[in-house]
Structure 1
């Protein structure tokens, strides 16, 4: 099913067992923020970036190493070197995504990000070392910045694709087909939003973190909450701006979120995560967040 009808999608999703695949990745990879800088092209449609802000490359690198060290407590983590000519390269989940035995290469909107998809080391790691089939979505119509543009429930085989500057319907359909998903819900992001994974996250297939202000139609966010109730954290706009929605569960009992995002949560929301079976494990990333993304954006999952 690929639809824009949230009610039809909820009824479809409710009938699915969480048996599509593992809810959490088996490994992950990062790309170091070598030559950390703000990309002017990306700032043109990323409201979370401010080009007037000074950045500290050494501090960004230190925080990124801290992130790798933290994530290594959850699962195996590989880190590839960065490329100063590709300043957004530290957010590889927009360019690369995986399914069992396959590597997807995304079709990026901005030229400064399109060069990331050419990296022979990352592509060779999957094709040559792991023997994954490469599916290059750049050869197909549409724009889709993969797991930035679409949040995927791996347990049920569902995608939630927010349409905007960086994802259109053709791109979302290509992602759906490449991962062999059961269902994809298409919806419009609110004006000024660039990626779905900033406004929502599905945690290990059993909980939802969602910021209704990030949706053009709040009814879509309300419908999604029905799928994951009672384990739903509804974020206020200020919490979304602190990147509380840009979180990820890389193991079934732990949620990784930036320190700023975690600090923005209320006591009740923290209790809600605990009731859903999750330990909240923050990582300081405020320097990296100046580039308009946060923890989940840095993590490319390996399935």
Structure 2
């Protein structure tokens, strides 16, 4: 099922057992922010990106190394080198994503990011080292920026796809098929929002962090929250601090940036604790100048 019908999706989703696959990844990979700089093409539709003078390449490299160390404590984490001609490559989850035994390569909207999809080293690692099948969406015409646009409940095989310049309905259908999902809900993001994973996080299949003002229709946010035993509504201030750009890589932990952690309201922290999540943070303020945060940096390996 792939639909915009909230009622139909909710009725179907409530009948889906958490038996689709592992709720969290078995490994992850990063791409180092070598060549870190403001990408003017990406800035056209990313309101979270700072001005060029706010970019600090050396501090971004230090933060990224600390992120690698922190994630490696939770699960095996590899890191590929960045490249000077791909300044956004430190956000690989938009370009590369996986389902068990399968690598999906996305089609980015901007040419500066389309270069990332051609990396033979990352494709070769999955093909020749891990033995993954490749599903290449990068050469077709419809933007589909993978787990930036599509937030996936891996336990139940459900997708939540926000449409924007970074993903159209045809691209969403291609991703739905590539990941083999049971059902995907399509909806419009609020004007100015570029990726779903800034306004929604599904944590280990049992909790959802949802910022209603990131959705064009707040009823969609309410419907998604209602599908989980633990819902964490996020305020505008929490969204702007990237609290929604969090990830659960281990069943009892949610990891986010230090900026996001400081912005969490007591009610949000309490809701996460009740869902069984300890909050871990990593300082990423230099990286966040590029308009993304911790979850954007992490490509999951299932």
Aligned residue for 2:296?
297
User: Quick check: 1:140–1:174 contact (8 Å CA) kept in 2?
Assistant: no
Aligned residue for 2:222?
222
Aligned residue for 1:20?
20
User: Quick check: 1:18–1:156 contact (8 Å CA) kept in 2?
Assistant: yes
Give 1:269 shift. 1.2
Unmatched tracts of structure 2, length 5 or more: none
Whole-angstrom CA distance in 2 between matches of 1:246 and 1:257: 7
Aligned residue for 1:173?
173
Whole-angstrom CA distance in 1 between matches of 2:52 and 2:87: 16
Aligned residue for 1:234?
233
Whole-angstrom CA distance in 1 between matches of 2:201 and 2:53: 28
Give 1:281 shift. 0.2
Give 1:84 shift. 1.4
Tell me the SS of whatever aligns to 1:24. coil
Give 1:140 shift. 3.8
Unmatched tracts of structure 1, length 5 or more: none
CA distances 1:102-140 after superposition (whole Å, capped 9, x unpaired): 100000000000000000100000001111011001244
Whole-angstrom CA distance in 1 between matches of 2:186 and 2:258: 31
Whole-angstrom CA distance in 1 between matches of 2:84 and 2:141: 29
Whole-angstrom CA distance in 2 between matches of 1:250 and 1:182: 22
Give 1:3 shift. 0.4
Aligned residue for 2:244?
245
Tell me the SS of whatever aligns to 1:173. helix
Aligned residue for 1:124?
124
Give 1:53 shift. 3.6
Aligned residue for 1:261?
260
Give 1:70 shift. 0.4
CA distances 1:54-89 after superposition (whole Å, capped 9, x unpaired): 211110000000000000011000000001110000
Aligned residue for 1:288?
287
Whole-angstrom CA distance in 2 between matches of 1:56 and 1:137: 33
CA change 1:55–1:139 in 2 (3 A) is closer
Q: Does 1:76 align with 2:76?
A: yes
Spell out the pairing of 1:101-250 with structure 2 (5 A cutoff): 101-229=101-229, 231-250=230-249
Give 1:17 shift. 0.3
Tell me the SS of whatever aligns to 1:28. strand
TM-score, with length taken from structure 1: 0.98
TM-score, with length taken from structure 2: 0.99
Tell me the SS of whatever aligns to 2:227. helix
Tell me the SS of whatever aligns to 1:228. coil
User: Quick check: 1:104–1:137 contact (8 Å CA) kept in 2?
Assistant: yes
User: Quick check: 1:24–1:251 contact (8 Å CA) kept in 2?
Assistant: yes
**Stretch deviating more after TM superposition (53-62 or 289-298):** 53-62
What is the aligned residue count?
302
Superposed CA RMSD in Å reads 0.8
